[in-house]
Amino acid sequence: MSLLALVDAVKESALADLKTAADLSALEQTKGSYLGVDGRFTTLLKQLGTLPKEEKPAAGKAVNAAKMAIEAALANRRSELELKAALPKEPTDFTLPGRPRFLGRLHPLTQVTDDIVRAFRKLGFAVADGPEIEDEYHCFDALNTPADHPARDAQDTFFASENARSTSANPVGDHLPLLRTHTSSVQIRVMKSQPPPIRIIIPGRVYRRDNADATHNPTFHQIEGLYVDRDVTMGDLKGTVEAVFKELLGGDTRLRFRPHYFSYTEPSLEIDFTNPLVKKLGKDWLEIAGCGMVHPQVFENVGYDPEVWSGWAFGFGIERIAMLRYGITDIRLFYENDLRFLNQF
């Protein structure tokens, strides 16, 4: 028999044996008997060298093709046998009940925030955002609250160390970095970045050096509103806030505006509201927000002409609304991540 015919015969025999190997160890034995040091195919390979020169190229080609075929058959059978070995020995019982997946849900504060945002969107407000690591300029100075202003003492503040000053990853500006005490800082950022008119709300987390108790937490959430255009009036402010609170807390909600002081608004007001939920708590009114007409100095600070532009702003706490809506009496429940609490919403 010629070498070529032999190669072919050994190949066919190898393919047949590999195909019928019953398990992985039988497969390894079969492999050895063909491709091992003394294997049948290896022996043929050695004979290649004895061929006359002119027969070598054709024979070499045939041997290579045969070897590739054997190796492919080997890999193929190996993966079949590996799969078989990995399958369970016992048949699977497909009638067993499945494991139910635990479905998460939105945090109650997120739900309330979403509702507030939806209510303002209907009135044409867009959502704006700003950094939680702020600086004194945006948090206080630009809001007409200079360093020696008494209102600044009232906001116990988390200052970052001098070393934490701005980097490219955290561009807080030239001023001492701090955790923002209110979302009002974003008013400045937005007004500095675009010309009027402006109609935005800013939901976000804020930080104060408060001790946690049933109604305080060092971090909580606010929604800020800012409306700037020509001829904006306090009537617009009242109408807007009233529409949103009625939508959030029910049509029987009533608002009351009390004179107050904020350095970035003039005049400034606090908003109280009442509805049957408030009465149920044994209260007549609950304070809910601060607001007012944007102070001309704030417009100057951001480069708006106060003779041309007018506006109002407000800020209120989200937790307060959520507590009222769901009848929650301890603010700390929101932050404990206790599923027994969170699953109720």
| Residue ranges in contact with ligand DAH by CB under 6 A | 182, 184, 224, 262, 265, 290-292, 313-315
β-pair type (198-207, 126-127): parallel
Give the list of residues 6+ apart from residue 126 with CB closer than 8 angstroms, or none.
199, 200, 201
DSSP letter string over 311-334? EEEEEEEHHHHHHHHHT---GGGG
Least distance CB 200 / ligand DAH (angstroms): 11
d(CA 202, CA 248): 17
Quote the CA–CA distance of 329 and 345 in Å, as a whole number.
15
Q: How far is the CB of 306 from ligand DAH (least distance, A)?
A: 15
Q: How far is the CB of 114 from ligand DAH (least distance, A)?
A: 21
Residue among 270 and 330 whose Cβ is closer to ligand DAH = 270
Closest CA to 69 of 105, 119, 34: 34
Shortest separation between residue 185's beta carbon and ligand DAH, angstroms: 9
Toward ligand DAH, which CB reaches closer, 110 or 155? 155
* Residue located via tokens 């608002």: 255
Q: Which is nearer to ligand DAH, 27 or 237 (CB)?
A: 237
Q: Reply yes or no: is the peptide bond before residue 203 cis, omega within 30 of 0.
A: no
Cβ distance to ligand DAH smaller for residue 177 or 225: 225
Strand, coil or helix: what is 267?
strand
Residue whose CB is less far from ligand DAH, 177 or 317:
317
DSSP 148: T
Question: How many CA atoms within 13 Å lie on the side-chain side of 38?
Answer: 0
- Between 172 and 201, name the residue whose CB sits nearer to ligand DAH: 201
Residue 313 Cβ vs ligand DAH, minimum distance, rounded to whole Å: 3
How far is residue 201's CA from residue 240's CA, in Å, rounded to a whole number? 12
- Cβ nearer to ligand DAH, comparing 41 with 314: 314
Least Å from the CB of residue 270 to ligand DAH: 8
Our CB check for ligand DAH shows the closer of 30 and 144 to be 144
CB of 206 to ligand DAH, least distance (A): 7
Minimum distance, C-beta of residue 256 to ligand DAH, in the bound complex (Å): 16
Contact 209, 157 (CB under 8 A): yes
β-pair partners for 314 = 225, 291
Report the run of H or E that residue 209 belongs to, with start and end: none
